[in-house]
Amino acid sequence: MQIISVLALFLFVWPFSSSKTFHMTASSSIPAASGLVTVSKSGQNRNTQLDVKVSNLAKPANLAEAANVYILWIRPSGGAAVNEGAIRVNKNLDGELKTATTSKNCDVFITAEQSATATSPEGQELLHANITID
């Protein structure tokens, strides 16, 4: 009986917990960099959860156009870009940021900025992905 209960719970939760991964395209100015955006739905409001992981991303001060911080932006289809926070790069040049959005179709991109409180992207798009959720 317990096995049937566990199986029933799994079959109920499984369709709602699936995730999809999108590869980010790197700018020609940082060809070694890479990024992945894992997208999933969670919670009663069914927001889109984003887990963005980057690797081989040089420290922002080492770029040709030196900056202080990397910012993750989400631009909903037909909307303005929103600053979702700073991505800190560790000594292995890896970073991660988790966030959520109500958008099902959006652009996710990273720029190098002078301030973590930037209200619009001023720097070049370094990594980019277009997210479309069915």
Q: Is 0.75 topped by the overall pTM?
A: yes
Q: Does residue 10 belong to any structural domain of this protein?
A: no
- Dump strand ranges (E) for the chain: 19-26, 34-42, 47-55, 69-76, 82-87, 95-101, 105-113, 125-132
- Whether residue 8 lies inside any domain: the answer is no
Domain membership flag for residue 35: yes
Is 39 exposed, middle or buried, given 0-12, 13-18 or 19+ CB atoms closer than 10 A? Answer: buried
| pLDDT digit string, tens, across residues 10-40 | 444 444 557 899 999 999 989 999 999 999 9
| Digit-coded pLDDT (tens) for 75-89 | 998 899 999 999 999
Q: How many domains does the chain have?
A: 1
Residue 68 in domain: yes
Q: Is residue 13 part of a domain?
A: no
Among candidate residues 33, 11, 14, the one with its CA nearest the CA of residue 24: 33
For residue 6, being part of any structural domain is answered with no
What CATH number is attached to the domain comprising 69?
Answer: 2.60.40.200
